[in-house]
Amino acid sequence: MKRKIIQTILTLTLSLMPLLASAQASSGKDFQWIVNLFVGIITQYIIPLLTAIALLVFIWGLARFILNAGDETKVSEGKQLMFWGIIALTVMISVWGIVGLFYQDIFNGNFGFPRLPTGSQ
């Protein structure tokens, strides 16, 4: 298992080396471009994936709670899954919102959130 993790990290590192090697070339790809790439991947793919997983954990706990109404241990396991699913959803959505507000206020940018409508177009 440890060897598999090391291989994965090594593969990712080696696959990103061309980006870092050409960072000072005149191709327009600099460090800010790499940071924007990582931030884009995190906000567009990883956060929604983790939110979906947390929602599935909550739904799985709800199903265990409803379907095993007679078995007290399964009901308590379902309650616990629902509790941790709600906690994970709350934390992820809150952090995403706080980071989005910070990014919009400080950097005047859009962080993958829809813009609020204003009076003038």
Distances (CA, A) of 45 to 35, 48, 50, 112: 15, 6, 9, 11
Cα separation of 34 and 93, whole Å? Answer: 25
Residue ranges of domains in the chain: 51-103
Range 19-35 burial, b when 16+ CB lie within 10 A, else e = eeeeeeeeeebeeeeee
pTM of the model: 0.57
Cα separation of 53 and 77, whole Å? Answer: 17
**Could you list the pLDDT tens digit for every one of the 121 residues in the chain?**
788 877 777 777 767 666 665 555 545 566 767 767 777 777 788 888 888 999 999 999 999 999 988 888 889 999 999 999 999 999 888 877 777 676 667 666 555 555 555 666 5
